[in-house]
Amino acid sequence: MAAAAGRAIAAALLLVAVLCGGASIRRSEAIGVNWGTQLSHPLPASTVVRLLHDNGFDKVKLFDAEEAILDALKGSGIQVMVGIPNDMLADLAAGGKAAEDWVAKNVSGHVHDGVDIRYVAVGNEPFLDAFNGTYLNTTFPAMQNIQAALVKAGLADKVKVTVPLNADVYQSPTGKPSDGDFRADIHGLMLTIVQFLASTGAPFVANVYPFISLYSDPNFPLDYAFFQGSSAPVVDGDVTYQNTFDANHDTLVAALRRNGFGNVSVVVGEVGWPTDGDMNANLDYARRFNQGFLTHIASGNGTPLRPGPVDAYLFSLIDEDRKSIQPGNFERHWGIFNYDGTPKYALSLAGGNGTTTLRPARGVKYLDKKWCVLKPSADLADQKVGDSVSYACGLADCTALGYKTSCGGLDAKGNVSYAFNSYYQTMDQDDRACDFKGLATTSSVDPTVGTCRFIIEIDVGAAAASGARGGVAGGVASVLAALALMVMVL
C-alpha cells in the first residue's frame, strides 16, 4: 500500500509540474512583463494568468494590489512585483500602522496563499517633473514604513522594497554614459534611496523608453533607438554605444558607481514600444524594437558597464483604453497584445533563437458581430455630427485616429463611424449608444479598412464566467486537493 501511495503521489506531483508550465525549466529564457488594468473591458484575471503561462512569462509587474489578480496568481509559479499607487504614498508615509495594514492585506495573506511576491514597488515614477515635487517628501518615508512592516511580518528576506523611477532621475552632462550622475535637484534624495536599496539588497528599478526620446526630439537618430547598429553611435572612451538602451542603462550604472554604490543591482522596470497614436508608434517599429531588445538580452552579454544577464519587464502586456493620454495618444497602445489578448505581431520571447511566437488568450468571449456607423444619408456639414464625434471620443478611445496612425487613412465619414463604433462598443452595444441624434445605425458588415480595425468588444460577463471555471492556478489547486485526498485514503 505504501508503494501504491508513493506512485500516486509521484504521478500527482508530475501533473502539478506540467500544469505549472515547467516554470523552472523556462527560467533562463523568460522575461517579465507589466500587467496594467486601465481597460474599459478587461480580460478575466484567470485568462490573463493563463496567457502569461502560455507565452512563457515567469515574472509580472503590477501597478496596484488588486485582489482578483493576486488571487488568480496563486500557485502559478509567476514571480510578482506588486505596486502601490502614488496617491497612497502620503498615508503610508504618515505612520507605520497604515503600512502594516497594507502589508497584511496585500502581501502577507497572499504570500501564505501561494502568491510568489518578490517586490513591493512603492509608487510609480514619483519624481517626474510633471508631478511638480508632489511626492518628494513622501516616497522614501513610505518605503521605510513598508520595509518595517515587512520586517514585522517576517517577510523582509523574501520581499524587497523598491521604487520604479523614470530614467530622468539620472543624466550625463556630456552625453557620455561614463559621466552619469543623479539629477542635481534630487541628488541627496536619490543617494538616500540608493543607500536604502543597498542596505536591504533591493534593486534599483529604472524605466527606459527610447521611444520617448524619439517622440520628444524629431532630430533623434531613429536607428540609435534600435539594436542593429547606428549611423550616430556615442563614443565613450574605449566603448562605442550603438543603441540608446545600452547608453541609458550604463548612465545609471555610472551614476551608481560615482556615488559608491556600484554593487546595487539594476532591474529594467519598463521597456517597450507603442504601436499606435503617433507617426513613430507602429507595428513595424514596435516589433523591430522589442525583438531587437529580446535578442540583445538573450545573448547574456549585458551592457558595457554591466556585463551579464539583464533583468527586465516588457511594457506592456495588453493595450489599455482608459490610460491617460496626457503624455500622448500612444499611451493606450503599448501592449504586445491587443485589448482582447490577440498578438499584434510575431515576437519570439526567447530572443529570436527559438521558434516560439506569441500565443493568443484562450476562451475570449465577444459581444455580437455588429458595429455602429454613420448613416449614409447623414450630412457631414450638420453641426450635430461634429458634436456627436466630440461626445463619443470624450468617453471612448479614438486615439487610433490621427496623422500616420492605424486609422489615419480613413475619409471623413470613416472617422465619424470609427468614433461612433468606439463609443458603441464601450457601452456594451447598448442600442441607445448607436443613435447620436439619428445620425447612426448598426451594421452587420465589418467596416474595418486596411490597418484600421473597427473592434467588437469583449463580453465581460461571459468572459468572467468562463475564466472562473479554468486557469492554471485553479487546475493546480484541484490537483493538490486530489493529492491530499489520495494521501488520506491510502
Picking from 277, 310, 332, the residue at the C-terminal end of a domain is: 332
Same domain, 291 and 146: yes
pTM, two decimal places? 0.89
d(CA 226, CA 447): 35
Same domain, 302 and 178: yes
What's 416's domain CATH number? 1.20.58.1040
Same domain, 387 and 262: no
Asked if residue 473 belongs to a domain, the reply is: no
| Angle, vertex CA 430, rays to CA 417 and CA 325, nearest 5 | 55
- The predicted model gives 291-295 an average pLDDT of 96
Residue 125 annotated to the active site: yes
User: Residue 176 corresponds to which cell in the numbers above?
Assistant: 557620455
Same domain, 73 and 160: yes
User: Is the Cβ–Cβ distance between 422 and 393 less than 8 Å?
Assistant: yes
What's 237's domain CATH number? 3.20.20.80
Same domain, 190 and 296: yes
Asked if residue 354 belongs to a domain, the reply is: no
The bridge status of strand 160-162 relative to strand 59-62 is unpaired
User: Residue 236 corresponds to which cell in the numbers above?
Assistant: 565613450
**What count of other Cβ atoms lies within 10 Å of the Cβ of residue 229?**
10
Q: What is the pLDDT of residue 489?
A: 28
Locate cell 507605520: which residue?
A: 96
Asked if residue 414 belongs to a domain, the reply is: yes
Nearest to 165 by CA among 216, 122, 198: 122
User: Is the Cβ–Cβ distance between 315 and 35 less than 8 Å?
Assistant: no
User: Is the Cβ–Cβ distance between 45 and 24 less than 8 Å?
Assistant: no
d(CA 162, CA 204): 7
Which amino acid is located at 342 in the chain? T
Give me the catalytic one of 29, 66, 270, 320.
270
Q: Residue 303 pLDDT > 80, yes or no?
A: yes
Q: What is the pLDDT of residue 351?
A: 78
Same domain, 249 and 389: no
Same domain, 325 and 198: yes
Q: What is the pLDDT of residue 475?
A: 39
- The predicted model gives 323-345 an average pLDDT of 97
Asked if residue 151 belongs to a domain, the reply is: yes
d(CA 436, CA 378): 11
Asked if residue 475 belongs to a domain, the reply is: no
**What count of other Cβ atoms lies within 10 Å of the Cβ of residue 32?**
24
Q: Judge residue 254's burial from the number of C-beta atoms within 10 Å of its C-beta, 0-12 exposed, 13-18 middle, 19 or more buried.
A: buried
13: three-class secondary structure by DSSP: helix
Q: What is the DSSP letter of 306?
A: B
- DSSP assignment of 37-66 equals ---SSPPPHHHHHHHHHHTT--EEEESS--
Tens-place pLDDT, residues 200-224? 999 999 999 999 999 999 899 999 9
d(CA 297, CA 136): 33
Give me the catalytic one of 29, 66, 67, 125.
125
Q: What is the pLDDT of residue 463?
A: 55
Same domain, 140 and 79: yes
Phi, psi of 170 (to 5 degrees): -135, 155
d(CA 209, CA 316): 12
- Number of structural domains the chain divides into: 2
Q: What is the pLDDT of residue 473?
A: 40
Same domain, 310 and 396: no
Residue 320 annotated to the active site: no
- The predicted model gives 14-23 an average pLDDT of 36
Query: For residue 113, what are the CA distances in angstroms to 73, 110, 474?
Result: 10, 5, 13
Asked if residue 33 belongs to a domain, the reply is: yes
Same domain, 40 and 177: yes
Asked if residue 481 belongs to a domain, the reply is: no
Tens-place pLDDT, residues 436-487? 999 999 999 999 999 999 999 999 987 555 544 444 444 333 333 333 322 2
Q: Residue 357 pLDDT > 90, yes or no?
A: no
Same domain, 163 and 87: yes
Asked if residue 416 belongs to a domain, the reply is: yes
Segments forming the whole domain that contains residue 77: 2-332
Picking from 332, 350, 384, the residue at the C-terminal end of a domain is: 332
**What count of other Cβ atoms lies within 10 Å of the Cβ of residue 339?**
23
pLDDT > 90 fraction of the chain, expressed in percent and rounded? 86
Q: What is the pLDDT of residue 60?
A: 98
pLDDT band at 406 (very low <50, low <70, confident <90, very high): very high
**What count of other Cβ atoms lies within 10 Å of the Cβ of residue 223?**
14
Same domain, 185 and 273: yes
- The predicted model gives 63-89 an average pLDDT of 98
- The predicted model gives 392-401 an average pLDDT of 98
